[in-house]
């Protein structure tokens, strides 16, 4: 918007807030009609009895004491419990909460940079890029990623309160920053990088380094130590949460260290590619143990070249260094060198949720450098920015449509990565839930053809055969499960039920007894009369 239009700064800010809200709602409102996804949504909501107890003393105690789902994030659990009290198992309500949190983060991000720099349109661009980029669909449209959007709100709020503190450094304001940071840590571990982001903001745009040249290190240590201590504690808790048996910090990673380093370098650059050209965005990016050497070396070279460039430009354009380090540092915990979680993915769209802001900073403050004349900037940058954001809005709206339900999501994923065994398996589950048993069996067949040792695919295919009344085929699948896993309780129970339904009570009783001997008679009691056990 040209500067010669007589609009007060307050009204300009209000216009930006309204546009950001309206644009984000226009793109993401469709999620209000979407279903749960059958990866992790059952862990976080649909099969989680603690969440479905609502906000209770027992529920609060569980939220703060559990490392269930391999993370310690009590505020995420509490937010889901609160949603359950409001919406029950109506998925649209949970999606709506995710959307509201995403909008709040967007508005806080705009406030943050506008407050620090006074540059309303550049700040608006950074916020709009965050709100409307297709890479952020996964964080917003996936209910299980509540931790992403909730932690982002506290991340932004911490930064905003920090700016408030720097304007008048008093203990009361400092404690507000610290409390909000703790809330972020209790939402998702990714917030551990925030203390370094605070230091970056001290350098630019707050320019606090200039007034503290004489005791720079001592000042930073004194002010930031509590934040780093809290980050270290949360990092230890997160690593500890990865080991259900709590036998110690020794874990057999699915990939070698050299493979993980190579993947980290390539993923680091691939994320950049997808920021600038968001194509083929899918739920699962397969990990490769055999990345071409040229690709790894090329990625490393590009990272080095960009790093040298932003360092060389630091005096003239400090925001380039700050933006680059924001991207690199906030991406570092999830780039895959230290493997967290059970997944065998190379990267994930949701990992760019906070790092993308760094690239937004570089674009918003760096691109104007390319245009020397102020009049040309006014004529070119605004329409160019609007055009780019409009394209991203369309792409995001389209990307969001793939998250309608599990069938849509995994069909899209399999279109891009046809050798994704888990994709066929999970789509098979989704087909089975809506009674499309033949399609479910087809997907289980595809899963097994890609991974002949996929135990759950045999078990679920056996269940599907049982539901079709094809008990002999079901028994054959349960036999295969038991061959692969001799102590698989559910397989014995399911095979016993299939024998009963086939009329063979002797073998049915034998398998039921075997399931009990394996230590879970309660399984039989709970499943009695409810059919097969998945």
State residue 171's pLDDT score.
Answer: 96
Tokens of 114: 């506008």
| 448-487 confidence digits (pLDDT tens) | 999 999 999 999 999 999 999 999 999 999 999 999 999 9
Q: Given 3-state DSSP classes, what are the helix, strand and coil percentages for the chain, each rounded to the nearest 5? A: 75, 0, 25
**Range 289-307 burial, b when 16+ CB lie within 10 A, else e:** eebeeeebeebbeebeebe
Q: Minimum mean pLDDT among 160-164, 235-239, 332-336: which range?
A: 235-239
Write out 401-430 in H/E/C secondary structure.
HCCCCHHHHHHHHHHHCCCCHHHHHHHHHH
**Range 482-499 burial, b when 16+ CB lie within 10 A, else e:** beeeeebbbbbbbbbbbb
Q: Which residues pair with 345 in a beta bridge?
A: 286
What are the extents of the domains in the chain? 9-246+253-401, 419-527
| 310-324 confidence digits (pLDDT tens) | 999 999 999 999 999
C-alpha span between 62 and 65 (Å, rounded): 5
Check whether 252 has a pLDDT greater than 60: no
Could you tell me if 510 and 524 are in contact, meaning their C-beta atoms sit under 8 angstroms apart? no
CATH topology of domain 419-527: 1.25.40
pLDDT band of residue 527 (cuts 50, 70, 90) is very low
Tokens of 30: 């469709």
266: helix, strand or coil: helix
Closest by CA to 154, choosing from 97, 114, 104, 116, is 104
Could you tell me if 164 and 206 are in contact, meaning their C-beta atoms sit under 8 angstroms apart? no
Distance, C-alpha 436 to centroid of its chain: 30
State residue 243's pLDDT score.
Answer: 61
Closest by CA to 48, choosing from 124, 146, 178, 182, is 146
pLDDT band of residue 210 (cuts 50, 70, 90) is confident
Neighbours of 134 (CB within 10 A): 23
| 361-399 confidence digits (pLDDT tens) | 999 999 988 887 777 887 889 899 999 999 999 999 999
pLDDT band of residue 521 (cuts 50, 70, 90) is low
What's the CA dihedral at 242, 244, 245, 251 to 10 degrees? -30
pTM for the model stands at: 0.93
Peptide bond preceding 140 in cis form (omega within 30 of 0): no
Tokens of 319: 């925001």
State residue 341's pLDDT score.
Answer: 59
C-alpha span between 136 and 134 (Å, rounded): 5
State residue 411's pLDDT score.
Answer: 97
C-alpha span between 28 and 425 (Å, rounded): 28
State residue 342's pLDDT score.
Answer: 59
Q: What is the DSSP letter of 286?
A: E
Check whether 407 has a pLDDT greater than 80: yes
| 302-358 confidence digits (pLDDT tens) | 999 999 999 999 999 999 999 999 999 999 999 988 766 556 789 999 999 999 999
State residue 514's pLDDT score.
Answer: 86
| 9-43 confidence digits (pLDDT tens) | 899 999 999 999 999 999 999 999 999 999 999 99
State residue 520's pLDDT score.
Answer: 54
223: helix, strand or coil: helix
Looking at every residue in the chain, the average pLDDT score rounds to: 92
Radius of gyration of the chain from its Cα atoms, rounded to whole angstroms: 26
| 75-114 confidence digits (pLDDT tens) | 999 999 999 999 999 999 999 999 999 999 999 999 999 9
Q: What is the DSSP letter of 345?
A: E
Could you tell me if 271 and 351 are in contact, meaning their C-beta atoms sit under 8 angstroms apart? yes
Could you tell me if 350 and 148 are in contact, meaning their C-beta atoms sit under 8 angstroms apart? yes
Peptide bond preceding 384 in cis form (omega within 30 of 0): no
State residue 246's pLDDT score.
Answer: 44
Tokens of 497: 């039920």
Could you tell me if 526 and 461 are in contact, meaning their C-beta atoms sit under 8 angstroms apart? no
Scan for tokens 């691939």, then name that residue.
Answer: 270
Check whether 50 has a pLDDT greater than 80: yes
State residue 219's pLDDT score.
Answer: 87
Helix orientation angle between 356-366 and 318-331, rounded to the nearest 10 degrees: 170
Write out 37-54 in H/E/C secondary structure.
CCCCHHHHHHCCCCHHHC
């Amino acid at each position: 918007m040209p500067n010669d239009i007589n609009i007060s700064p307050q009204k300009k800010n209000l216009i930006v807030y309204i546009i950001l809200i309206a644009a984000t709602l226009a793109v993401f409102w469709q999620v209000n009609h979407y279903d749960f996804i059958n990866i992790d949504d059952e862990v976080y909501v649909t099969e989680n009895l603690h969440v479905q107890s609502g906000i209770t003393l027992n529920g609060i105690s569980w939220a703060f004491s559990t490392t269930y789902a391999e993370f310690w994030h009590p505020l995420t659990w509490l937010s889901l419990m609160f949603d359950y009290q409001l919406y029950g198992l109506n998925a649209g309500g949970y999606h709506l909460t995710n959307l509201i949190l995403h909008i709040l983060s967007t508005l806080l991000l705009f406030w943050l940079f506008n407050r620090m720099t006074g540059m309303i349109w550049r700040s608006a661009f950074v916020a709009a890029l965050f709100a409307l980029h297709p890479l952020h669909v996964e964080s917003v449209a996936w209910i299980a990623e509540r931790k992403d959007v909730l932690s982002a709100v506290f991340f932004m709020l911490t930064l905003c309160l920090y700016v408030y503190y720097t304007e008048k450094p008093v203990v009361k304001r400092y404690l507000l920053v610290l409390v909000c940071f703790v809330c972020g840590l209790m939402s998702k571990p990714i917030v551990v990088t925030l203390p370094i982001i605070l230091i970056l903001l001290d350098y630019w745009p707050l320019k606090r380094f200039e007034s503290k040249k004489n005791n720079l290190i001592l000042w930073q240590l004194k002010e930031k130590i509590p934040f780093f201590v809290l980050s270290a504690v949360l990092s230890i808790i997160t690593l500890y949460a990865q080991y259900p048996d709590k036998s110690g910090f020794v874990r057999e990673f699915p990939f070698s260290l050299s493979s993980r380093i190579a993947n980290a370098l390539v993923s680091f650059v691939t994320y950049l590619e997808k920021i600038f050209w968001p194509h083929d965005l899918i739920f699962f990016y397969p990990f490769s143990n055999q990345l071409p050497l040229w690709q790894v070396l090329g990625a490393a070279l590009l990272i080095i070249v960009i790093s040298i460039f932003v360092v060389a430009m630091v005096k003239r354009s400090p925001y380039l260094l700050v933006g680059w380090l924001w991207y690199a540092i906030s991406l570092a915990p999830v780039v895959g060198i230290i493997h967290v979680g059970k997944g065998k993915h190379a990267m994930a769209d949701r990992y760019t949720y906070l790092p993308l802001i760094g690239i937004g900073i570089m674009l918003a403050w760096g691109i104007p450098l390319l245009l020397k004349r102020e009049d040309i900037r006014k004529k070119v940058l605004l329409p160019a920015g609007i055009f780019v954001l409009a394209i991203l809005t369309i792409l995001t709206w389209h990307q969001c449509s793939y998250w309608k339900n599990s069938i849509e999501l995994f069909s899209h994923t399999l279109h891009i990565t046809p050798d994704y065994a888990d994709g066929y398996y999970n789509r098979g589950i989704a087909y089975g839930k809506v009674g499309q048993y033949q399609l479910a069996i087809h997907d289980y067949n595809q899963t097994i053809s890609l991974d002949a040792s996929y135990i759950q695919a045999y078990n679920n295919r056996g269940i599907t055969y049982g539901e079709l009344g094809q008990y002999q085929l079901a028994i054959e699948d349960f036999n295969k499960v038991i061959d692969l896993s001799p102590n698989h309780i559910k397989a014995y129970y399911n095979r016993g039920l299939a024998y009963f339904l086939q009329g063979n009570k002797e073998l049915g009783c034998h398998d039921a007894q075997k399931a009990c001997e394996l230590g879970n008679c309660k399984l039989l009691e709970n499943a009695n009369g409810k059919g097969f056990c998945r």
